[in-house]
Amino acid sequence: MYSIRKIILIFLSCLTVSVSQAQKTISFSPEVFGAYLGNSVSVFTDTSNSYGINEIMAHPEWFTPSESDVPNLGTSTNYSWVKFKMVNATKESKMTLNFSYPITENVCLYTLKGGLLDSNCMAEVMPVRDREYKHQFYIFDIAAGPGEEVVCYMKLYSTRQLLAPISVGTMTSVIRAISNNDLLSGLYFGIMLVMLLYNFFVYMSVRDKSYLIYVNYIFWVTLTQVTLLGYGHRFLWANNEWLTRNMVCLTGAIVGISSVLFVKSFLHTRKYARKYHPFLNIIILGDLVSIVLLLTGNPVASYNAVNITAGLGGVFVLFIGFKVLYSGYRPARFFLVSFGIFMISVIVFVLKDVGVFPYNIFTYHALEFGSAIEAILLSLALADSINILKKEKEESQADALRISRENERIIREQNVILESRVNERTVELKASNEELNKTLDDLKEAESHLVESEKMASLGQLTAGIAHEINNPINFVTSNVQPLQRDVEILLEAVNTIEGFGIGEGDIAEKQKKIKDYKEEIDFDYLKVEIEHLLKGINEGASRTAEIVKGLRVFSRLDEDDLKKADLNEGIDSTLIIINNMLWGGKTKIIKEYGELPMVECYPGKLNQVFLNVLSNGIHAIDDKFKGQDGGEIKIKTTHDEKNVYINISDNGTGMTEETKKKLFEPFFTTKEVGSGTGLGLSISWNTIKKHNGNIVVNSTLGEGSEFIFEIPIVH
């Protein structure tokens, strides 16, 4: 078994050597000038990235003959080696090698002649001005006289798609070839510049944003070609290594984004392809991912992401173009033709990179041809869309004119009819106006009666409160007057009796004994105490009556039509005196949390009326909930800041619904039974607070209670 394996290995080694030795020797003659030499070279990929030229030269069996004119070395981070032999069959003293793939990152040429090894290395980031040949292509001179043979090794590295377009010739023929290439590229850039300026000037005239978006698209397509062909590094960013290495991926991704924006704008996909419009954002997302990969140091993944997004996105855009055309939008035809040609050029360019199509002047410049034709056709398409819009506008104007004339005819006919009807209606309106005026007078009279009713209701409430409050101390006084009168009569009679004892007969001791016995008889000491008690009660009743009268004077404010400074705490207290009779004998608690308020410039009497209305409503709500039992509570809190005084009056009564809160301050709105209220109390209160430039905030929860917050400016 070991012998068989050994024989097989020896056979394979010999086969490899024989294949390697079978490599052609390139004859440097006019027949090969400018032709790609890929079929005459061998290639090897150093997956370890560790072999030097000496190790490469020592292992010819590592190389595999190429089968294409331009070897496709793929996309990787490995070094690739290309080997070939040349013999000078001319009279020239040197040969010139042209490696015409400018986006290769590093190119080294090693030449072995007569046992002597020479090397020359160039990098993509190396400024063109520092190269022997001032061009973006990698051009090397190979010193080999007539009849001399030289073995060439090329070490290549690129994180992008790596192709090896190698050609040889004399210095004159190579310069002629690259000049022709520059001429063709210059023609392309001229066309693209003309299209860019043309569409920009059209945009400045018509202000259609589709043109501006298209100008942006042309700019990035052109910049991408500038990058791919090496002119960007040659003329624009020769000293910026990052742009030199990454501009291919960056511009490719931005072209994808700008093309999607143009497709959305030009095809009106939101209108004509509404179902597929959101999926266009996936293409933008793919290009954004490639940019992120590039910025995070993954150029190979970024390059692949750009190519995949461009391929799949292009197919999807063509599909949307057909959908829009099917929807009846005529400019989609131009778009499909132009974008189809461009997509074909993209496909040709990509398939050239993967080896499906040969590498030649057509496939190398496929993107230039396709994008130039696309730019021209899409410019025509945009112009056609403007013509369509112009035609639609003219048709719209014609329709508007026709409709206007028809309307004018109808109006003339209707005017005759309307004139007769107006005369008829005028008579009817006069009668209606008279009736409305009478109704309005009746309403004003009714409103006046209702306002007077509200005033009388408040007056009745005020009278009832005052009568109740004054009645108690007056009753106390009157009940003490009769006992006091009786005690005074007894006292006067005692004075007369004692006076009789004093002027009667008998000695002093006997008189004193009679007086003492008489005092004990009438209980003179108790009589003095009772008189003092009765006088004190009368005094207290009179004082309470005086306080009530003072409170009434504070509440009523006979000068209420004049602005004056007042203590609102004092006004609230006077209001509480008026409504004290409504508190069910103390079953409803009044909790006062007064702050030290400044004097407020206001109409005191009108504000007291507001407090009376709100407190009365709160007491009614508590009565409805507790039915005269304990538990009712009204809380009054006063505070202030630099500008305003705040009065919070809250109760734990029945509360209000949201519907009731909305209508709370409407005139004549009331939740009380018929005959129990006019519905004007809170409406008048609202107007009073607004007259003070203040505000009312109402918070209420059904079943829990209500809170009224009054905000009143300190200075009117």
Sequence-distant (≥ 6) Cβ neighbours of residue 1 within 8 angstroms: none
In this structure, what token pair is assigned to residue 1? 């078994």
Q: Classify residue 473: in a domain, yes or no.
A: no
Residues 576 and 680 in one domain: yes
Domain with 28, as residue range(s), is 23-169
Work out the number of other CB atoms within 10 angstroms of the CB of residue 408: 10
Give the Cα-Cα-Cα angle 23, 26, 32 (nearest 5 degrees).
Answer: 140
Residues 155 and 189 in one domain: no
Residues 376 and 350 in one domain: yes
Does this model's pTM top 0.85? My answer is: no
Residues 48 and 114 in one domain: yes
Q: Classify residue 4: in a domain, yes or no.
A: no
Residues 164 and 237 in one domain: no
Sequence-distant (≥ 6) Cβ neighbours of residue 70 within 8 angstroms: 36, 38, 163, 164, 165, 166, 358, 359
d(CA 644, CA 641): 6
Give the Cα-Cα-Cα angle 177, 166, 360 (nearest 5 degrees).
Answer: 65
- Cα dihedral across residues 192, 195, 198, 204: positive or negative: negative
| 359 close to 166: Cβ distance less than 8 angstroms | no
Sequence-distant (≥ 6) Cβ neighbours of residue 354 within 8 angstroms: 72, 161
DSSP label at residue 130 = G
The DSSP-derived string for 383-424 is HHHHHHHHHHHHHHHHHHHHHHHHHHHHHHHHHHHHHHHHHH
Q: Classify residue 239: in a domain, yes or no.
A: yes
Q: Classify residue 498: in a domain, yes or no.
A: no
Domain count, the chain: 3
Q: Classify residue 383: in a domain, yes or no.
A: yes
pLDDT at 14: 37
- Cα dihedral across residues 198, 200, 201, 203: positive or negative: positive
DSSP label at residue 164 = -
Q: Classify residue 631: in a domain, yes or no.
A: yes
Sequence-distant (≥ 6) Cβ neighbours of residue 75 within 8 angstroms: 159, 160, 161, 162, 300, 303, 304
How many Cα atoms are found within 13 Å in the side-chain-facing hemisphere of 379? 21
Going by DSSP bridges, is the β-strand pair 25-28/79-88 parallel, antiparallel, or unpaired? parallel
Residues 78 and 141 in one domain: yes
Q: What is the CATH number of the domain that holds 586?
A: 3.30.565.10
- Nearest Cα neighbor of 122 from 105, 134, 110, 135 is 105
Q: What is the CATH number of the domain that holds 140?
A: 2.60.40.2380
pLDDT at 15: 37
Residues 223 and 129 in one domain: no
The domain boundary residue, chosen from 390, 424, 459: 390
pLDDT at 16: 36
- Nearest Cα neighbor of 239 from 126, 79, 323 is 126
Identity of the amino acid at 706? S
Q: Classify residue 579: in a domain, yes or no.
A: yes
d(CA 550, CA 565): 18
In which residue ranges of the chain is pLDDT below 50? Answer: 1-22, 557-559, 674-675
Residues 203 and 335 in one domain: yes
Residues 196 and 162 in one domain: no
Sequence-distant (≥ 6) Cβ neighbours of residue 228 within 8 angstroms: 103, 248, 367
Residues 146 and 189 in one domain: no
The domain boundary residue, chosen from 353, 375, 390: 390
CA separation, residue 466 to residues 460, 470, 546, 602 (Å): 10, 6, 12, 25
Q: Classify residue 439: in a domain, yes or no.
A: no
In this structure, what token pair is assigned to residue 659? 């519907």
pLDDT at 333: 83
The domain boundary residue, chosen from 390, 407, 442: 390
Helix axes 299-326, 332-353, angle to 10 degrees: 150
Residues 50 and 163 in one domain: yes
Residues 203 and 336 in one domain: yes
Work out the number of other CB atoms within 10 angstroms of the CB of residue 454: 20
